[in-house]
Amino acid sequence: MERTLLLLKPDAVQRGLVGRIIDRVEAKGLKIVGLKMLAIPREIAERMYAEHEGKDFHAPLMEFVCSGPAVAMVVEGLDAIAAVRRLLGNTNAREAAAGTVRGDFAMSRRHNLTHGSDSPASAEREIALFFTPEEMLDYQPTMDAWIYGRLADGERT
Ligand code: IDP
Ligand code: MG
């Protein structure tokens, strides 16, 4: 199982889309193991987007993600990092496929509602910026066997 950070940016909160986005995560069969609402501190935003420092969109991006309440989640599942990124869609929401969160609900390259970790290393680093180990819960959804199937040897696929 993999864990990934999923962030609902301030535009998702302001536009009242938090529930609809979380609904897609749950309906997909992904498991939410951590969830909180917060105003992202500038320092956390800078560390989260360190890879984009120096780019022309960095300063407005910082201002945007720190502009109001956001929702941070840790989402768990098989190949959860890639699965969440596919649910979110292309960075430029205008080009994102219909059926994705950005494709269905957004029209901007910056105001694209969400952030999802892009690799196991980013996921580990980003989760630690927002959650302590105690804030993430271990539990076994009873429907997991129906989401993944379960063979006699316990393999999931
Ligand atoms: P991602 O969120 O799909 O991983 P990144 O390239 O990592 O996309 O960019 C981080 C965030 O910076 C994007 O989600 C978006 O909010 C913003 N961003 C990326 N590229 C641009 C751009 O060209 N113009 C304005 N904002 C951008
Ligand atoms: Mg990124």
109 CB within 6 A, ligand 1? yes
The tens-digit pLDDT sequence of the chain (157 residues) is 999 999 999 999 999 999 999 999 999 999 999 999 999 999 999 999 999 999 999 999 999 999 999 999 999 999 999 999 999 999 999 999 999 999 999 999 999 999 999 999 999 999 999 999 999 999 999 989 899 987 556 666 7
Q: Is 51 in the pocket of ligand 1 (CB under 6 A)?
A: no
Q: Give the chain's domains with CATH numbers.
A: 2-135+143-148 (3.30.70.141)
Q: How far is CA 8 from CA 70, 144, 145, in A?
A: 6, 25, 28
Q: Please choose from 112, 117, 122 the residue to mutate so as to test ligand 1's pocket, defined by most ligand atoms within 8 A of CB.
A: 112
Interatomic CA distance for residues 2 and 41, integer angstroms: 26
111 lines ligand 1 (CB under 6 A): no
pLDDT at 149: 87
Cα–Cα distance, 97 to 76 (Å, whole number): 23
pLDDT value, residue 135: 98
Q: Fill in the DSSP letter of residue 156.
A: -
58 is catalytic: no
What the block records as the tokens of 116 is 């999802």
pLDDT at 152: 57
CB-ligand 1 contact for 44 (6 Å cutoff): no
CA of 140 to the centre of ligand 1 (A): 34
